[in-house]
Structure 1
Amino acid sequence: MKVFVTGSSGFIGKALAQRLSAENHEVLGLDKRPGPATNILCDILDAKRVQEAVQAATPDALVHLAARIDIDESADVSDYPANVEGVRNVIEAVRHTPSIKRTIWTSSQLVCRVDYRPSGDTDYNPDSSYGRSKVLTEQIVREQDGGGSQWCLVRPTTVWGPGMSAHYQRFLRMIQRGYYFHVGSAPLLKSFSYVGNISYQYRQLLQAPPEQVHRRTFYLADYEPLDLVAWGDAFQRALHARRIPRMPVFVARALAHTGDAAIALGLKQFPLTSRRLKNIMTQYQFDLSATEAVCGPLPNNFGEGIEQTVEWFKGLSPPKA
């Protein structure tokens, strides 16, 4: 199978390209940044170049991952054009490429705020401009019927593992240096995705029979929820760091209010804000039965994920002072 992957230099894109290539599929990657899985340097906002690239590749399937994914609390939806106009451009490219039979369009769990349980696939309740931009992603795909292909939408949750973002690298570095703390004393259960498992789920969705995936929406995560406390403690042990202390919730809230004030005064980064604290403290577990029914058992367990992530992390260059 020949698969075209947009966003091939991103976290999931690299993992997916590596998995597909290892299974002898032909992968053509498009991204605006160079990377080992990127054959075509192109911004998806360049409609003409995107269409030319996809048509020239004549792929059997397309996985759309390219997006702006950061959550900027001062941004507006218009600041996320890749998630709106970029999606329109890729859909038009699919529409003009008859070789494409299957497409997967990547949305986000944040089309709804983390404490909201939607009643259906089009029941949205985002609380960020990023989330609202991903609502538009989904609406465009549905309105355009996936460019005329067999299609599905996927909503990844938080993804972790080798290659994860600088934000999570800082999380591991804080644990390693003894600066990280747990908030409160209770477990915090969340539907997280290990990168080796989510890349496998994408692959399974590419190969599933059409009637199992067409016009459906799937959450992508490990089937068993991850306990944020146990996750941090597992990294602490694997990194041979000091035991992670616990901070009372009222202290964390005070620190978060300080962060809110700092952001309001123009500071771009602060370790904790009320929004981030809410995201940390809110437990969420998605019903993944539909995903499991199509994708089947996952290849990596929790312990393997910790081991592989720590091995990767130890090989990183130390941050610049």
Structure 2
Amino acid sequence: MIGKPFFDNMVDTLTHRILVTGASGFVGSALLQLLEREHVGWEVFVLGHGEGRRNLIDLRDREAIDDAVREVHPTALVHLAAVAAPSDARNDPRHAWDVNVTGTMNLAESVMRHAPEARFVYVGSSEAYGASFQSATGPVTENTPLRPVDVYGATKAAADLMIGQMSYDGLRAIRFRPFNHTGPGQADTYVVSDFARQVAEILSGKREPVIHVGNLEAERDFLDVRDVVRAYAIAAIQDSKTGPDCVYNIASGRPRRIRDILDMLISQSGIEIEVRADPKRLRPNEIPVACGDASKAHEKLKWTPLVPFEQTIADVLDYWRRICSAR
């Protein structure tokens, strides 16, 4: 994934103290694996991870957040913790707003108080662009208006704008708007992992050779999670610019039709599988096409996706086949 040339551009690597929120989640786990595998002397601390590193801290608890930031005194904070599934945000909007916006404010304010020199890496979402995708004639840039159409997108857009404003007050922020990403270990509430799980269950004989699907005509810009977290690591460690203008799409620039992704998984299975539409799987306010322009990240952060999408699909399917065989 990341070779030594990546670290050759880092400054004072032995002094980095990286605090990660949401470390027990899908993306957080991938980031920890990357940082630990490519370790060159920095320390990594986590919030929201209960396996011997640090007890779970509620982002809405300002005092607990203050204590943690004061104790760690990070040189960088990567903020991943969130109500991340759009369905969860839709089912409990107030909780999503409390965690995704108020929780983010608590962290940012604490960093400004207790670690003002730290880089604040905020991970937003391309869902913040929302309705702007409908009028786009190609991949959207960071200058595209934020016009969210669902609760999740609205909370991420609000926190994104809030962090941008706080940058004018001195927060050393870098904001990301990642597009769809997947990989081994992702929950089956997301489309690629959902399809892969169903295929794996069919291959293991646990279900009939039928896959149940929602809208297959939507087109999305997909990345491998291992490429995505590499961008976050660069932002946390590299001595690059921070501030209001440091907002980056993380995208491939290529929209993929959901139907084509399903066809890839079925092809990799090597068997015939029937596809059945399930109205319960349809999302409200579905955007037909969403695709991002990541040229700014390429130029400023020297980031580019490396993992072929076919490899990503194969790895997700292999992951679910292992899970099914162990059950």
The alignment's TM-score, normalised by the length of structure 2, stands at: 0.78
- Return the alpha-carbon distance in structure 2 between the equivalents of residues 198 and 129 of structure 1: 23
- In structure 2, what is the equivalent of residue 210 of structure 1? 240
Aligned residue in 2 for 1:259:
none
Contact 1:8 1:35 in 2 (8 A): no
Q: Is the 8 A contact 1:200 1:299 kept in 2?
A: no
Q: In structure 2, which of residues 50, 54, 59 is the aligned counterpart of residue 34 of structure 1?
A: 50
Tell me how far apart the structure 2 counterparts of residues 109 and 221 of structure 1 sit (CA, whole Å).
Answer: 9
Establish whether residue 160 from structure 1 lines up as the match of residue 182 from structure 2: yes
Match of 1:238 in 2: 268
Could you list the per-position Cα deviations for residues 49-71 of structure 1 after superposition, in whole angstroms to 9, with x for gaps in the alignment? 11111111122111011111222
Q: In the alignment, is residue 220 of structure 1 matched against residue 242 of structure 2?
A: no
Provide the rounded CA distance (Å) in 1 between the counterparts of 2:325 and 2:151: 33
Task: For structure 1, list consecutive stretches of 5 or more residues without a partner in the other structure.
Answer: 257-269
Q: Decide which moves more: 208-217 or 225-234.
A: 208-217
Q: Does 1:313 align with 2:320?
A: yes
* Rounded Cα–Cα distance in structure 2 between residues aligned with 1:204 and 1:214: 18
Partner of 1:109: 126
CA contact under 8 A between 2:126 and 2:178: conserved in structure 1?
yes
What SS class does the counterpart of residue 144 from structure 1 fall into?
helix
Specify which structure has the bigger relative contact order, considering alpha-carbon pairs within 8 angstroms and separated by 6 or more residues. Answer: 2
Asked whether the 8 Å contact 2:179–2:222 carries over to 1, the reply is yes
Identity percentage of aligned residues: 21
Q: 1:192 aligns with which of 219, 222, 234?
A: 222
Distance 1:233 1:213, change over 3 A: farther
Q: In structure 2, what is the equivalent of residue 180 of structure 1?
A: 211
Q: Alignment length, in residue pairs? A: 293
Question: Residue 113 of structure 2 corresponds to which residue in structure 1?
Answer: 96
CA contact (8 A) 1:151 1:215 kept: no
Q: 1:150 aligns with which of 172, 175, 178?
A: 172
Q: Which residue of 286, 297, 312 maps to 2:292?
A: 286
How far 1:140 sits from its partner (Å)? 1.8
In structure 2, the partner of 1:260 is none
Structure 1 residue 19 corresponds to structure 2 residue 25: no
Summarize deviations over 1:13-36 as a string: whole Å, max 9, x none.
Answer: 1101110111113211101x5358
Shift of 1:78: 5.8
Distance 1:318 1:170, change over 3 A: farther
Q: Return the offset for 1:127.
A: 1.1
| C-alpha distance in structure 1 between counterparts of 2:242 and 2:101, whole Å | 27
Name the TM-score, length of structure 1 as normaliser: 0.79
